[in-house]
Amino acid sequence: DLGEHLSEVIELTSKLATKHGVRVCSPAAPALPPVAMHPIFVKQALLSLVDAGIQQALGGTLQLQAKPSDATVTMSISAQPAKRLSELSAGAQRNLAIARQLVVTAGGQLVVVQQPPDPLEAYLVLPAVESVPILVVDDNEDALQLYARFTVSTRYRLVTTPNPEAITALVKRHAPRAILLDIMMPQGNG
């Protein structure tokens, strides 16, 4: 969950931002799909990117924004320093290299659009987890809860119903890749 990690990273770097007189702005992100990247890699890539941004936004503002697109989630960073900087700091260069290496390993990319003497502007493009709909038809509520528990934090999105008569409408609406049917149900045979 990129939004959750971003909030945690902003909190972790708040003292550093305060120390450098940087105001971090991060508007509420729209609903973001989960990213297909290990949570530790996501967090470290974000930490490296935000740290680089803070180093380049001295006395100014750091704007962070995440938005979904087709099969990716893009995290943008824009550092607006109080005074124009002549070059990218060694620490910022190192942090951008770390973020790039982590993201590329997961099939994403880091694009630096501009850097000093212009304000730093960069984008992390992360692959989104494809949501795979699975229809589960079962009259046993415990079984439905068990399937839901097994698929938490996976790419599978369960569509459930205890009613076999709802199958046709649910297939048309959700186009599931698989259907799991209970064979013995009171309303009919799976």
Unique residue bearing structure tokens 């320093």: 81
Distance CA 128, CA 155 (A): 10
Distance CA 44, CA 105 (A): 13
Task: Label the pairing between strands 132-137 and 178-181.
Answer: parallel
Of 131, 184, 143, 189, which is closest to residue 161 (Cα–Cα)?
A: 143
Q: For the chain, which ranges sit under pLDDT 70?
A: 153, 188-190
Contact assessment for residue 51 and residue 16, using Cβ atoms and an 8 Å cutoff: yes
Cα 58 to chain centroid, rounded: 27
pLDDT of residue 2: 81
CB hemisphere CA count around 21 (13 angstroms):
7
CB hemisphere CA count around 134 (13 angstroms):
17
pLDDT of residue 182: 87
pTM for the model: 0.68
Tokens (6 digits) for 159: 């569509």
